[in-house]
Structure formats: C-alpha cells, structure tokens
C-alpha cells in the first residue's frame, strides 16, 4: 500500500502541472427527460472556481420530508467528458433514486484532458464534502451520503467507497475540509474497477487501455504497478463502505469479469456487498430494469437503516418508517421486544405476480408501547450458511429465552431453492436485541415456515411450525432438534388454508392461534383452538379477528401480556394500499371471557399508545369517525402518514385517552390547510371551544386561545361547524 501511495503523490503533482481550463470531450446533453423531482438546483459551482467541470445539479424527491438521504450519481464517459451531468442516467437510475426518497446530486468532474488522475476522484470527494457542508440549505441528511455511477462513473463511485480516509487522494477541491468525504455506500454500474484485470486474468493482455492511459498520462505496458493507483480494488479493506454491483453478461465495453472479481475481493475483506449479473445486459443496454433499479434502492435502504434508531408512535401502524409484518412479541426482562419480518419493495415474482420479498430481520423494543427502539438488522439472508442468499424468503420468525440465551427461529429457502421446501434456522444471542450468531444447520426434525417457539412454565420449549399442516414438538436441550416425531396439531380443524401458528398460555390453558382462509378465494381471518397440554389435542373455538377490511391477503399475529394487559400484534397493508405484500404491524388490546375464550378483536387506528395533550395528536388515527374522510398526506410517500378531511357540517372524529395532566391548557395548536377557512368545534371532557381555521393554501401551524378547564385523561373530539379544512394533527399547550 505504501508503494501505491507514493505513486499517488507523484500523480497528484503531475495532475497539478497538467491541469487546464475547461476542455475535454463534454457538453452533450440528452433529450429532455421527465425527472421525478420536486425541485432542481442547476449549475452550482461546488469548487468556487467558475469552471464548467466543477458544476453540479441537485434534484429533490417529489415526496415531502424534512431531510433526504443523498446519492451522488456520476456519469460515464471513459473519463473523457467534463460536462455530462445532464446525461447522468436521469430517466433510469436517478428517477429510481428520487422515487425511493433519495436526493440526487449529479456532478461534473475534470476529464482526462483537463487533468490527470487523481484529479477526478478528488473532484468527487469535493462534491461529497460540499453535500455535507450544505445539508441545511438543501435539506440533505448528511448522515447518509452514497455514491453511484455508470462505467467510469461506476469506477469513481467504487473508488469513493474504498478510499475513505486515504489522505493522498483527498485533495482540497471546494474546501469544506472540516467535513468528511467518505461515503456510506456505493452503487457500481458496469464500472472498470481493476485496470490490471481487464483481460480477466488471462496471461496475455489484449485490452485497449487508451482511456485509462489518457487519464493516467502514460502507457499501461510496463507501468502496470503504477496503474494500481487507479484501481478501486487496490484500497479494499474491512472498513470500506458497502457496495452493490451491477454488470451485464454481454458488456462489450467493460468486461463482465470485473464485477465478480470486485465482489470476491470485497467479500473476502469482510465488506458488505451484493452482486447482480444481468443476463444479456450490455454496457448500459438492457441493464435498467425494475429488478435491478429496485435492488439498488433496496440495498441503499438496508444499509441506511441497518443500525436502527429511535422513534415515537402510539397509534397504528406501530412501525412507521419501514414495512413490517408477522409480528412476534415477547417480554424479556420487563421490556417488550417485537420480532417482525421485514417486507421490502418486491424483486420476487410468483409467475407474473409480484410476491412477498423479505431479506432480513430487525428487532424493536419498547417500555411503554409508544417510545420504540429499532435495534437494527439482526439476521440477513446473505449470512445464512444453509440458505439461498438471494431467496428473499425470510418469512415469519419468533424468539424465545432459555437459560439466559435468546434463540431466534426463522424460515428460509435452502441453497437448492424454494422448490425443495423451506428450512427453519436459528440464531443465538446473549441479549434479546443481539448480536445474534446464525447456526450452521437447520433445526432437525422440522421443515416448513412460520416457526413459533413456546416456553412452558416448567422451562420446556416447544417449536410449532406450518408445513403440511401445523406441527409441533419438544425442542432438545441444545434447541437445535425436535425430540421424537413431530405431532400434527390441526387434523380436526375446519378445512381451509392455514399458516403462521402462535401459541401462548393463560390460566392453565394452551391457545393455538393461527391465520385461516375460511372462504374460497378469500383472505385470512385469525382464529384459535384451546387445549390442556401444549401438543393437544386442541378444540377449535372460532375466529377472533375477521378478514381485513383493506383486503390484505395475510394477517399473521402474536399475543403478549405486558404490564397487566393483554395485546394482539397483527398486520395490515396500511402503507401500501395497492400492494398487499408490503405490510405494516399493528397492535390492539385483547380481552377474554370468563371461560377463557377470546373476545373478538376489532382493528383500530388509535392503537394503544400513551399521549400527552401537548403531543401532536394525529386525529386521523381516530377512535370514532362520523362523516370525515382520511387520506394520505403525500401521494408520493405514504410513510408520511395521513390527514383528516372535514368537508361537510358535523363531520367529526374522536381521539381517546389523552393525558391533560394536572394543569389545564390555554392554547389549541394544529397543523391545517384550508382554501377558504373553516370553523371547528373542539370538545374535551364535555367542554367545547369554537376555533377559527384561517384560510391557507399551504400547510400552516395555527394557534388559538382555548382555555378548556380540563385535566386528567380525556377524549378529544373535533367537529366541523362551517367551511372545510384538512387537519394533520392537533395539540393543547
């Protein structure tokens, strides 16, 4: 490495001597493209020198957010162009990124005629520093800045990923030296990442090295060692940013062997990486499909969220920043932990139908069902030794504690594919949030999906799963094998599709609960049976949740007792109304009759969380609604939530269980929008106040005096008196 860095120092000196005013092969602009942005900021001088090769464009997504993660996307030109940001894959890669909620920065950079390497990567590092320095101005989320590029742009994006912290390549372009130039991820589209491997390891180098010779300033032959300074592969180490690689098998410009070569070196170094070889894909042609573009944004989403974070939500859905399904809830050490599956935008198809697509698991926890922690990625499909690394089959999981260890059971397709059935694996940790270590083999004696791990009062652990009916058995002492033959549990149950079993115990009775499609062509109900022992025999009792009112086909679930209350976690497709394979976890309270049977649960928007009157109360998550309508706040980003539309006199909603504390509020605050203004009646604890909503074409936070002499737990009702208005949230302060 030291030898390479000495070469870089010499190259940098040469680059400064050979730098020229703007020139090179550039300026060609593609025909006008419909870029999916809300705002564009063009021709920003990121270096402050007035040169065309130091201009960039900024595109912000159509979805409205306080800040956006950023991708710097770099055009391809064999390093010959200094002004091609206007043709930087705008209709394909850039639009896919914008639609996924990423701000996109497309920079120019110096060409091989303007300056020699490392000027080009120094420009890109200057762009990354500029992004972080200008985060507030352009609503960038400076905590996540990725690089992407096609061809030579893919080379520069890859180089940005592998050279974080390499001072010899840093440069001072644009200043902002107090900000990091390291990227958080990179997307390499058909990039030449190892110029010494262009002949794919052959003994004779027959490749035309003219483009790289131009950017380096000397011949390749006889200077192979010096050319390593240009290679992204030269700098690979375990601290590099994650990289996703796309390459066509029919690429006749950059040999396709570059991609698996890069992948193998990154993987060997322990760098997170994914490889997508596109059958029949050329150098750009036939490369940009729904599958590849969505795989790119899924990869970036996974990297961006893998470490988790904290969030607050007391209404349904529970998890508001990502899709989630199949929730398994447990209380460990007095804290509630939630182990759901993780739906992502699909890249899997069942025939021609888009299908369930899940590649990893996160774990969440809470003390109060309102303030949540996402502990991040705990198991990923690529890390399962026995599993197919691209099966996207990480379906409903479960977790159980035994002797101070936590065992996370999950299904996955084996390496030979789904056609040979599913296996059930296990990962083990010392803490319910991980880190988890995935075991080498599947659980012996099992085969199927949706494992449920149930621990009885005597410490015995049973595993229940779905596969040729619902089956179960006692787990061995090492938790890796079923003792004896598995027992069929549902042989006497009503006919129809079943899956997703969940077992719990209450007052000495065992409950086997499961999703059931009772009608031909219907969707799933939730039903249950009861028994006096964990492996039955069970007596079917009936349905405790009807089919989804949204038409969501599946509805997996779990029961948990927490702080003296029983809760049902389940899922609907709230954030994906047009595609029921992207689902969201919900929770509602459960009650039981004297004989132990379950009182049917009616799904609510309100959920079970705790709210103070001073919180922003999203009244669209109502407890009761008469007349008013609810719609999404942002048609481009359903995760932004909902709004309540009051259009007719007496439209009203009620939001229950709000804590007004010991001191009565004096002000009513709300985020509203109203074309001509409106009057609403706000009622709390039997006391009402008429509030005037001002005319405002855009969303506005309004305030009004509202001395409501109320304290303690109260319901809040908002009713339209006149006019019309949209309300996002209300608050009392």
* Catalytic residue (one of 499, 547, 615, 620): 499
Residue 583 vs residues 132, 161, 337, 586, 587: alpha-carbon distances, Å: 34, 33, 19, 10, 13
The tokens describing 301, both together, are 């989403």
DSSP one-letter code for 579: -
Torsion of CA 719, 724, 727, 732, to 10 degrees: -50
- Count CB-CB contacts under 10 A for residue 312: 14
Nearest one of 59, 61, 18 to 634, comparing CA atoms: 61
Beta bridge mates, 398 = 409
Total count of residues recorded for the chain: 733
Q: Which residues of 494-511 are buried (b: 16+ CB within 10 A; e: fewer)?
A: eeeebbbbbbbeeeeebb
Strands across the sheet with 461-466, in order? Answer: 449-455, 461-466, 470-474, 487-488
* Distance between CA atoms of residues 655 and 719, nearest Å: 12
* Distance between CA atoms of residues 321 and 310, nearest Å: 11
* Distance between CA atoms of residues 101 and 104, nearest Å: 9
Burial class (CB in 10 A: 0-12, 13-18, 19+), 423: buried
- Count CB-CB contacts under 10 A for residue 435: 14
* Catalytic residue (one of 240, 326, 398, 401): 326
The answer to whether 70 and 141 have CB atoms below 8 angstroms apart is yes
The answer to whether 262 and 158 have CB atoms below 8 angstroms apart is yes
* Distance between CA atoms of residues 186 and 156, nearest Å: 10
* Distance between CA atoms of residues 453 and 472, nearest Å: 10
- Count CB-CB contacts under 10 A for residue 347: 20
Is 326 part of the annotated catalytic residue set?
yes
* Distance between CA atoms of residues 700 and 698, nearest Å: 6
* Distance between CA atoms of residues 328 and 503, nearest Å: 11
The answer to whether 212 and 220 have CB atoms below 8 angstroms apart is yes
The answer to whether 96 and 63 have CB atoms below 8 angstroms apart is no
* Distance between CA atoms of residues 441 and 452, nearest Å: 18
* Distance between CA atoms of residues 395 and 413, nearest Å: 10
**DSSP string for 239-298:** TSPPEEEEEETT-SSS-TTHHHHHHHHHHHTT--EEEEEETT--SSTTT--HHHHHHHHH
* Distance between CA atoms of residues 172 and 160, nearest Å: 15
Helices 119-133, 152-162: axis angle to 10 degrees equals: 70
* Distance between CA atoms of residues 709 and 266, nearest Å: 65
Is 225 part of the annotated catalytic residue set?
no
- Count CB-CB contacts under 10 A for residue 196: 18
User: Mapping DSSP to helix (H, G, I), strand (E, B) and coil, where does residue 196 land?
Assistant: helix
* Distance between CA atoms of residues 85 and 87, nearest Å: 5
DSSP one-letter code for 161: H
Active site residues per annotation: 326, 499
């Amino acid at each position: 490495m030291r030898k390479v860095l000495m070469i870089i120092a010499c190259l940098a000196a040469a680059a400064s001597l050979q730098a020229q005013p703007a020139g090179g092969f550039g300026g060609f602009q593609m025909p006008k493209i419909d870029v999916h942005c809300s705002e564009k900021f063009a021709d920003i001088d990121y270096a402050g020198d007035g040169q065309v090769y130091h201009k960039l464009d900024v595109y912000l997504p159509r979805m409205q957010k306080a800040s956006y993660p950023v991708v710097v996307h770099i055009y391809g030109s064999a390093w010959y162009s200094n002004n091609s940001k206007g043709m930087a894959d705008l209709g394909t890669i850039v639009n896919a990124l914008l639609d996924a909620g990423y701000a996109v920065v497309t920079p120019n950079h110096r060409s091989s005629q303007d300056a020699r390497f490392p000027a080009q990567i120094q420009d890109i590092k200057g762009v990354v520093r500029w992004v972080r320095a200008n985060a507030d101005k352009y609503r960038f989320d400076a905590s996540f800045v990725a690089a992407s590029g096609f061809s030579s742009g893919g080379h520069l994006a890859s180089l940005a990923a592998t050279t974080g912290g390499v001072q010899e390549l840093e440069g001072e372009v644009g200043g902002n030296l107090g900000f990091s130039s390291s990227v958080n991820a990179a997307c390499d589209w058909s990039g030449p990442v190892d110029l010494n491997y262009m002949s794919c390891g052959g003994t004779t180098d027959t490749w035309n090295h003219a483009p790289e010779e131009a950017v380096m300033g000397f011949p390749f032959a006889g200077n192979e060692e010096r050319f390593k300074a240009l290679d992204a592969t030269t700098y690979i180490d375990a601290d590099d940013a994650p990289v996703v690689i796309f390459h066509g098998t029919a690429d006749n410009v950059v040999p396709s062997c570059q991609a698996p070569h890069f992948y193998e070196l990154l993987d060997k170094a322990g760098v997170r990486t994914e490889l997508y070889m596109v059958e029949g894909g050329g150098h750009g042609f036939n490369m940009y499909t729904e599958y590849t573009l969505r795989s790119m944004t899924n990869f970036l989403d996974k990297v961006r969220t893998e470490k988790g974070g904290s969030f607050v939500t007391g209404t349904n859905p529970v998890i508001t920043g990502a899709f989630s399904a199949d929730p398994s809830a447990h209380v460990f050490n007095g804290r509630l932990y939630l182990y759901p599956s993780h739906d992502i935008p699909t890249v899997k198809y069942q025939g021609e139908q888009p299908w369930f697509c899940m590649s990893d698991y996160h774990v969440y926890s809470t003390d109060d069902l309102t303030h949540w922690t996402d502990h991040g990625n705990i198991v990923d499909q690529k890390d399962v030794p026995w599993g197919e690394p691209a099966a996207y089959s990480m379906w409903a999981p479960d977790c159980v504690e035994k002797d101070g260890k936590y065992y996370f059971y999950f299904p996955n397709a084996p390496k030979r594919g789904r056609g040979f059935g599913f296996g059930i694996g296990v990962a083990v940790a010392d803490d319910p949030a991980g880190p988890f270590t995935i075991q080498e083999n599947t659980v012996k004696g099992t085969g199927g999906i949706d494992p449920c791990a149930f621990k009885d009062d005597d410490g015995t652990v049973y595993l229940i799963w779905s596969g040729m009916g619902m089956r179960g058995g006692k787990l061995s002492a090492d938790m890796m094998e079923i003792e004896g033959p598995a027992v069929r549990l549902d042989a006497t149950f009503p006919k129809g599709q079943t899956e997703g079993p969940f077992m719990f115990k209450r007052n000495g009775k065992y409950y086997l609960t499961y999703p059931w499609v009772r009608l031909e062509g219907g969707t799933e109900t939730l039903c249950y049976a009861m028994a006096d022992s964990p492996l039955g025999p069970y007596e079917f009792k009936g349905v405790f949740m009807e089919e989804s009112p949204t038409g969501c086909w599946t509805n997996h679930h779990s029961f948990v007792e927490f702080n003296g209350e029983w809760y049902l976690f389940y899922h609907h497709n709230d954030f994906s109304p047009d595609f029921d394979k992207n689902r969201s976890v919900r929770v509602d309270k459960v009650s039981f009759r004297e004989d132990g049977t379950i009182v049917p649960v009616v799904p609510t928007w309100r959920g079970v969380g705790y709210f103070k009157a001073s919180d922003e109360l999203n009244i669209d998550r109502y407890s009761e609604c008469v007349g008013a309508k609810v719609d999404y706040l942002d048609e481009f980003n359903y995760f932004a939530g909902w709004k309540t539309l009051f259009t007719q006199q007496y439209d009203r909603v009620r939001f229950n269980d709000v804590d007004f504390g010991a001191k009565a509020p004096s002000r009513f605050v709300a985020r509203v929008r109203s074309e001509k203004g409106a009057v609403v009646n706000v009622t709390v604890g039997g006391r009402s106040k008429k509030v005037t909503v001002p005319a405002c074409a855009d969303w506005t936070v309004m305030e009004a005096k509202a001395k409501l002499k109320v304290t303690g737990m109260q319901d809040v009702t908002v009713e339209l008196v006149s006019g019309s208005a949209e309300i996002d949230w209300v608050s009392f302060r």
